[in-house]
Chain A
Amino acid sequence: MTSARNSLLVIVGLLLLWQLAYWAIGDLALRPPLETVVKAGALIASEGFLSHLAETLRAFALALAIAVVVGVALGFSLGMNRLAGEVGEPLLVSFYSLPKITLYPIVLLIFGIGMPSKVAFGAIHGIMPIAIFTLGALRNLPPVLGRTSRALRLTRWQSAWALLFPAARPEIFTGLRLGFSLTLIGTLLGEMFASQRGIGFLLMQAIGLHDTDLIMVLTLLIVSFAITASMALLAIDKQLRHGSS
């Protein structure tokens, strides 16, 4: 109950700040909250918007699926082999801290303009944190688990799937949470710079036309989506950790 009240307080506070910022800055760059919400309703109802939304969601879902599968697999293969882990981790970390936008021209040349490019760009944002967290999660497991797996005569595969993965799951999930937000950023960036469709494309177009109404509405929609999703993931995260601590 208190957590619901706290969330409500945060939302009310943010809306208030937004309104204050509008009064301070004015119509040139901002629109007030109420007007934005009304315009958002109109935009969602407008013709063609839903197909842009669907395009973005499809690209994001694909990118996220790739990031999760590749990230967890990469983290696992490095985590189960000590030498590979020691060689691979610094590579992962340096790639993680690299601003991915610098790779954008190459991604574009490889995949062209459109869906494959945004998916690839979303995925490369998400893979690294997921792989790094998976690797760290496996490394932090108590050694007695490995000995127990041998004592129970598990095969390597059984040990990975039935023992190491569930034991590391709470920490891996934290990586997934981070990967989720970064993949979303990556997908939208991809749409902004190399696409004719999707929310990112609409946003870029609105920026070009200095359409403040549309910029505000799209930003509101993206922020709402990101906050809702990450709150849901955080709730699952807490539940996973609750059982194991």
Chain B
Amino acid sequence: MNAMTIAAPVHVGLRGVTRVFETNARTKVEALGPVDLDLRKGEFFAVVGPSGCGKSTLFDIVAGLSPATKGQAIFEGSRLDGRAVPEGVGVVFQEDASFAWLNVADNVAFGIRRAGLGEAEIKRRVDDTLTLMGLRDFAAAYPAQLSGGMRQRVCIARTLVQRPRLILLDEPFGALDQQTRLIMGEELLKLWRETGATVLLITHALDEAAMLADRVGVMSARPGRIIDVVETPWGRDRDSRVVSDPRFGEITARLWMRLRGESMAALSHKAG
């Protein structure tokens, strides 16, 4: 871990955050926490955990899409109340959320156009973002003409064009094949470096977390808590070639040893 991120101030802080779903008056499901977690400004943080552990619930709270039941979630000094996604937060989902009726350029421009930016500024930002995401040649194409990886790129571009300071990704490559995932991972690293944003990546893939993140948070079975935070030794300029580093194996092994018991617990949870 490099010294820069250690010294960096806290960007997102979670204190004793829990989430309880009331399915009806009698049944309550504890979905999350309590979670204590600090995301440092500019770091790349990944969260791994067994299925159903509350990763997506955590994601929704940090995004401001749903409220914490107890505890506090703070982004840049103000409270995330779950009513609105704050300015400065960009969100990318697992599902294809590209707009079928708009071409790539209009998809990317969608958010900033509604936000009332000037036409010249919109055009400049969209051009920059299309170039950054390698979508320049597809500006006039429609989502139906693109592969799944390209469509997810469009969604990432639509988020980036808003210049978020915190980028949240919920299993963004979950529907893609392994090679596409590795390449998309490299691109994610590149845009993380170029934008200087803080990134929170939710994933179920241990190797993806080990390759991309500065720190990986390991979650327990439901209700999910952060039971370990594993730091990776890669520098800022890392790419997918870190998979050949012997320490890569050690890190994924450590993640799995922490997760193994939790995953088994999660599976027996489901069976029972």
Interface residues of A (CB under 8 A from B): 142, 144-145, 147-148, 150-154, 158, 162-163, 166-167, 169, 243-245
When the two chains form their complex, are residues A153 and B95 in contact, meaning their CB atoms are under 8 A apart? no
Q: B218 contacts which chain A residues (CB < 8 A)?
A: none
Q: A169 contacts which chain B residues (CB < 8 A)?
A: 101
Decide yes or no: A243 and B101 within 8 Å by CB, A142-B95, A144-B93, A152-B114 being known contacts.
yes
When the two chains form their complex, are residues B93 and A148 in contact, meaning their CB atoms are under 8 A apart? yes
Interface residues of B in 77-131 (CB under 8 A from A): 84-85, 87, 90-91, 93, 95-97, 99-102, 110-111, 114-115
Chain A residue nearest in CB terms to B94: A144
Decide yes or no: A163 and B99 within 8 Å by CB, A151-B63, A153-B115 being known contacts.
yes
Q: Which one of B91, B100, B114, B115 has the greatest number of beta carbons of chain A within 10 Å?
A: B114
| Measured CA separation A162–B114 after assembly (Å) | 9
Known: A152-B111, A167-B99, A245-B144. 7 other contacts (CB 8 A): A142-B95, A147-B65, A147-B91, A150-B65, A150-B85, A151-B63, A162-B114
Q: A163 contacts which chain B residues (CB < 8 A)?
A: 99
| Measured CA separation A244–B99 after assembly (Å) | 9
1/0 per position for B37-66, CB-CB distance to A under 8 A?
A: 000000000000000000000000001010
When the two chains form their complex, are residues B110 and A152 in contact, meaning their CB atoms are under 8 A apart? yes
Chain B residue nearest in CB terms to A145: B97
- Is B142 located at the chain interface by the 8 A CB criterion? yes
Chain A residue nearest in CB terms to B112: A152
Interface residues of B (CB under 8 A from A): 63, 65, 84-85, 87, 90-91, 93, 95-97, 99-102, 110-111, 114-115, 142, 144, 158-159, 162
| Measured CA separation A239–B102 after assembly (Å) | 14
Please give the distance in Å from A138's CB to the nearest CB on chain B: 15
Q: Which one of A147, A151, A163 has the greatest number of beta carbons of chain B within 10 Å?
A: A151
Please give the distance in Å from B142's CB to the nearest CB on chain A: 6
Chain B residue nearest in CB terms to A166: B101
Q: Which among A148, A150, A151, A167 is the interface contact of B101 at CB below 8 angstroms?
A: A167
When the two chains form their complex, are residues B144 and A151 in contact, meaning their CB atoms are under 8 A apart? no
| Measured CA separation A134–B87 after assembly (Å) | 32
Decide yes or no: A150 and B114 within 8 Å by CB, A144-B93, A166-B99, A243-B101 being known contacts.
no
Q: Which among B63, B84, B96, B144 is the interface contact of A243 at CB below 8 angstroms?
A: B144
When the two chains form their complex, are residues A144 and B144 in contact, meaning their CB atoms are under 8 A apart? no
When the two chains form their complex, are residues B114 and A151 in contact, meaning their CB atoms are under 8 A apart? no
When the two chains form their complex, are residues A151 and B100 in contact, meaning their CB atoms are under 8 A apart? no
Chain A residue nearest in CB terms to B85: A151
Please give the distance in Å from B187's CB to the nearest CB on chain A: 20
Q: A153 contacts which chain B residues (CB < 8 A)?
A: 84-85, 87, 111, 114-115
The 4 A-B pairs with the shortest beta carbon distances in the complex, nearest first, are A151-B91, A144-B95, A244-B100, A152-B111
When the two chains form their complex, are residues A158 and B114 in contact, meaning their CB atoms are under 8 A apart? yes
Q: B90 contacts which chain A residues (CB < 8 A)?
A: 151
| Measured CA separation A148–B102 after assembly (Å) | 15
| Measured CA separation A245–B142 after assembly (Å) | 11
When the two chains form their complex, are residues B93 and A244 in contact, meaning their CB atoms are under 8 A apart? no
Q: A151 contacts which chain B residues (CB < 8 A)?
A: 63, 65, 85, 90-91, 93, 159
Q: B114 contacts which chain A residues (CB < 8 A)?
A: 152-154, 158, 162
Q: A158 contacts which chain B residues (CB < 8 A)?
A: 114
Chain A residue nearest in CB terms to B60: A147
Please give the distance in Å from A154's CB to the nearest CB on chain B: 6
| Measured CA separation A158–B95 after assembly (Å) | 22
| Measured CA separation A121–B190 after assembly (Å) | 63
When the two chains form their complex, are residues A167 and B63 in contact, meaning their CB atoms are under 8 A apart? no
| Measured CA separation A154–B114 after assembly (Å) | 7
| Measured CA separation A152–B95 after assembly (Å) | 16
| Measured CA separation A148–B111 after assembly (Å) | 10
Q: Which among A145, A150, A243 is the interface contact of B142 at CB below 8 angstroms?
A: A243
